[in-house]
Amino acid sequence: MPEYRLTPRAESEIVDIIRYGIETFGVLQAQHYVDELTHCFELLAENPRMGKAVPDFGESVRRHIHARHIVLYEINAPGILILAVVHVRSVVRLIKS
């Protein structure tokens, strides 16, 4: 079965997402969002070409939008390596600067 792995950066970003979710929306909603993200990671591992290629970030990097976050990952047998989980606001800021 395909699997997903997280880089230390992605792990740190998920911790930040959880922390923000608990502070802003409460424990239950934060847990729900993390469950959705986990399901997204599993789907991407099973269907690695589901995301769009991002040649600006590297030949093998792909992206998938989940709610308000962009998941950046590489196809890495037997699944995927999640590089980052970035809020769309961060991407907009990068584009504008």
Break the chain into its structural domains and give their ranges.
3-96
The set of residues, in sequence order, having a beta carbon less than 8 Å from that of 14 and lying 6+ positions away, is: 6, 34, 37, 85
- The CATH code that applies to domain 3-96 is 3.30.2310.20
Q: Which residue has the higher pLDDT, 62 or 94?
A: 62
Contacts of 63 (CB under 8 A, 6+ apart): 51, 52, 54, 57, 70, 71, 72, 73
Q: Which residue has the tokens 């950046």?
A: 72
Least confidently predicted of 7-16, 40-49, 56-65, 88-97: 88-97
Residue 21 has pLDDT above 70, yes or no: yes
Q: What is the pLDDT of residues 50-85, one digit of tens each?
A: 999 998 888 899 999 999 999 999 999 889 999 999
pLDDT of residue 77: 84
Check: CB of residue 37 under 8 Å from CB of residue 69: yes
Q: What is the mean pLDDT of residues 6-32?
A: 97
